[in-house]
Chains A and B, each alone.
Chain A
Amino acid sequence: MIFLFYMLSAIMIICALAVVFSKNPINNVIYLIVCFIAMAGHYILLNAQFLAVVHIIVYTGAIMVLFLFVIMLLNLNKAIILRKSKVTRITAVITGGIFFLVLVAATRQTFEIHPRYPFASDIGLLTQIGKVLFSEFLLPFEMSSILFISAMVGAIMFGKKDEH
């Protein structure tokens, strides 16, 4: 188990770095896909099979296909080298550094939080997730579905041809 954890983590980190450093957009997308699959592996290690599979179906199977789709259609075949002015670069480094600081501070806080429930190994299984989603977290769940519908309506509005 420990070995699997380290292997998956190594794959994830290497692929995530490759996403950032690789210059070819198609390779970027493929590294990101591998990264997502490794992440699904982490879910399985945590005994959350449902999350793992939904993660693969939604992120790897749908969203990344659309990414790949757009990149293929735009034919971004050649490596892109971005040239930015010095001011932009310095600002980017500073904002990135500050963001990282906030991130570190936030994650430090989370370590002190004690879980509300004792750790249950079946929490990621289908029936458990269903029960929790439709009882305790019903309101946020329904809210997010309303958000999705509004996003869908918005997309259709944008995509609609102007008839006037």
Chain B
Amino acid sequence: MDWTIIIFKTILLFIILVVTLVVALYSTYGERKVAAFMQDRRGPNRAGPFGLLQPFADGLKMLMKEEIIPLTANKRLFILGPSIAMTTALLTGVVIPWGGTFTIGGQEFSLQIADLNIGILYVFAMVSIGVYGIMIGGWASNNKYALLGAIRAASQMISYELAMGMSIVALVLTTGSLSLHDIVTQQHGGHWNIFYQPLGFLIFITCSFAETNRAPFDLPECETELIGGYHTEYSSMKLGFYLFAEYINMFISSAVITTLYFGGYNMPFMDQLGLSPNAVTLLGTAFFFLKIFGMIFLFMWIRWTLPRFRYDQLMNLGWKGLIPLSIFNIIATGVYYFFTELK
């Protein structure tokens, strides 16, 4: 491979890492502001103008707090838990196409770090490893509330992964590719997949709420029953890592949903503006982030609107509702393409 490409990809990797962290940092602020708006309050407004420095103050607080590892906890696994959660959350951003291609000096630089031909499956693999962060952390705490939270998280994530995977099968039937790059380029010109796969989209987004452990599916950390769920025993930055990983997951899921169903970095009138390709790429990336923020807002909106599910309701919805629906979606898509291809 060319040296310039390697250097470019390394720089891109760092930029995406920093952007992911900053977006996750400000999602905590956004969440509190949205919650305040929904509940007719003001939200954080003390640190800096409009409380904009609040996330940094919170981060500093997390870092400065005393580090406690319970005596009866399994020390190594106790530390391993949050590390896995954070690492897998950050690894997923690698396959997402953050923008089109830049042409500098006759050479093309793609704003996607790795264009794997199994891109979407890679995301699934990372999500499925992410379960261990919660499970190991919850078990190593040696606390029954933490263990209950961990077990709930694991069973919830396994159940919803199935429906999520099957909603993707229908999507792959329409696009004919697992590569996220191909999926985005096919949606060029307003052919967003949400118009072709509305049911698949609904299933996918429901499952992503469950996968990111967010309300209305936040049973693993349900405060009223389990104190704090799997991170009851955690303090200081290890707790910070768990909380932060949740926000990173939310950002990445929003990016994945946008990529799969809302055309990724494609925007309306992309070809009619008459701008240079590089400018279009930049605008496309900006538009992509706009869509992601819209999706993050949807996540927060739902969290502060809907009450939490009961555990049996959650399992019934997953196994008896979403999985049959997604199978129906696959069959319907297959039949449709079978008859249209025959013509």
Q: Which residues of A contact B (CB under 8 A)?
A: 26, 30, 33, 37, 49-50, 53-54, 56-57, 60-62, 65-66, 68-69, 72-73, 125-126
Contacts and interface: CB of A to CB of B under 8 A. Distances in A.
B121 A33 contact: no
Given A49-B118, A72-B139, A57 B128 contact: yes
Give the size category of B's interface with A.
20 to 34
A53 B129 contact: no
B327 interface: no
B165 to A, nearest CB: 8
B241 interface: no
Given A65-B135, A72-B150, A73-B151, A53 B128 contact: no
Interface string B69-86: 000001001000000000
Contact of A60 (B128, B161, B178): B128
Given A65-B131, A125-B117, 18 more contacts: A26-B74, A30-B77, A33-B132, A37-B129, A50-B118, A50-B121, A53-B118, A60-B129, A61-B127, A61-B131, A61-B161, A62-B128, A62-B158, A65-B128, A66-B158, A69-B155, A72-B139, A126-B117
A53 B151 CA distance: 24
B124 A57 contact: yes
Contacts of B296: none
Given A57-B128, A69-B151, A126 B178 contact: yes
A46 B147 CA distance: 39
Nearest to B120: A53
A72 B154 CA distance: 11
A134 to B, nearest CB: 14
A66 B154 CA distance: 9
Contacts of B118: 49-50, 53, 126
A125 to B, nearest CB: 6
Nearest to B176: A127
Interface of B: 74, 77, 116-118, 121-122, 124-125, 127-129, 131-132, 135-136, 139, 147, 150-151, 154-155, 158, 161, 178
A58 to B, nearest CB: 9
Nearest to B121: A53
Contacts of A37: 129
A57 B131 CA distance: 11
Nearest 7 Cβ contacts at the A-B interface: A61-B128, A56-B125, A53-B121, A53-B125, A49-B118, A53-B118, A57-B125
B77 A26 contact: yes
A72 B117 contact: no
Contact of B147 (A54, A61, A72, A125): A72
Contact of B129 (A26, A56, A66, A73): A56
Nearest to B76: A27
A72 B151 contact: yes
A72 B125 contact: no
A82 B38 CA distance: 59
Contacts of B77: 26, 30
A65 B132 contact: yes
A152 B91 CA distance: 33
A57 B121 contact: yes
Contacts of A56: 125, 128-129
A161 to B, nearest CB: 15
Contacts of B129: 37, 56, 60-61
Contacts of B136: 30, 68
A61 B125 contact: yes
19 contacts: A26-B139, A49-B117, A50-B117, A53-B118, A53-B124, A53-B125, A54-B121, A56-B128, A57-B128, A61-B124, A61-B125, A61-B161, A65-B131, A65-B154, A69-B151, A69-B155, A72-B151, A125-B117, A126-B118
